[in-house]
Amino acid sequence: MSSLKRIAVLWFCLISAAFAADDYPVIRKALDTVLPGSVPDKIQPAPVPGLYEVTFGPQLFYISEDGKYLVQGHVLDIAGRKDLTEARQGELRKASIDAIGEDNMLIFAAAKPKHTVTVFTDVDCGYCRKLHNEIKQTNALGITVRYLFFPRSGPNTESYYKAVSVWCSENRQQALTDAKAGKELPKKTCANPIDKHMELVHAFGLQGTPAIILEDGRMVPGYMPAKQIQAALEGKMEP
């Protein structure tokens, strides 16, 4: 690329950034009224004329183009029979989970992976234990399971410290399996990502466990057998 072209590209980027900073002044003013000092991750036209989509991490709502109305809820495409809001929230969930990184997850990998699900789990949750009892079957179907912790009793509780002990164990997979079988683990502490997991719990608005996040970010609240997880991943059933 010539020097002249490089200068032209740089100038275009600077101009674009300047305009982007001043995009949607009416929307930004409305936001500052209801959420003073807030800085959204993104503002963009919504699928519905007259509405703009505003996102903060995985959270999503809409504001009218005149800045007078804020809408919290789902936009449904009647003709297409599709929940447009859920599809978009799926994208945002996926991005938030990807940002956590697999180094901060407890992973049961399939030998021949075809799909990946992310599961928010509580060591003391009965249905989480039922789901984990099928982990070999799930892996055999080519589904890798990535666990994030959601101790429902909250931070600094017995379930929370069990999650920490699992993470700090030399063999995390075995420690989780033992904990879910009701075995008592040696209490351990170390640097851990449990609080990061909990931040996602609150951002996603999760209420219970297990919560299964499919590859496209769609969420399945509650237990689902391995075969049904496979069917949902392959589009053979709605989650």
- Type and span of the H or E element at 83: strand 82-83
Residues 183-221 have pLDDT tens digits of 999 999 999 999 999 999 999 999 999 999 999 999 999
- Helix ranges (DSSP H) in the chain: 3-21, 25-34, 84-100, 126-133, 135-140, 158-167, 172-180, 194-204, 226-233
* 123 neighbors 150 (Cβ within 8 angstroms): no
| Per-residue pLDDT band at 22 (split at 50, 70, 90) | low
For the chain, what's the residue count?
239
Among candidate residues 194, 58, 208, 218, the one with its CA nearest the CA of residue 126? 208
Q: Which residues contact 74 (CB under 8 A, 6 or more apart)?
A: 83, 84, 85, 86
Q: Cα-flanking dihedrals φ and ψ of residue 146, to 5°? A: -110, 120
Q: CA of 125: how far to CAs of 85, 122, 148, 180, 197, in Å?
A: 30, 5, 14, 8, 16
Residues 58-99 have pLDDT tens digits of 999 999 999 999 999 999 999 989 999 999 999 999 999 999
* 175 neighbors 166 (Cβ within 8 angstroms): yes
Separation CA 195–CA 121 (nearest Å)? 14
Separation CA 239–CA 231 (nearest Å)? 9
Position 18 scores a pLDDT of: 38
What domains, with CATH codes, occur in the chain? 3-81 (3.10.450.70), 97-233 (3.40.30.10)
Phi-psi region of 156 (alpha: psi -120 to 50; beta: other; left: phi over 0): left
Q: Is the backbone peptide bond immediately before 113 cis, with ω within 30 degrees of 0?
A: no
Separation CA 147–CA 135 (nearest Å)? 11
Position 237 scores a pLDDT of: 66
Position 32 scores a pLDDT of: 87
pTM: 0.82
Q: Which residues are catalytic?
A: 122, 125, 128, 152
For all residues of the chain together, what is the average pLDDT?
90
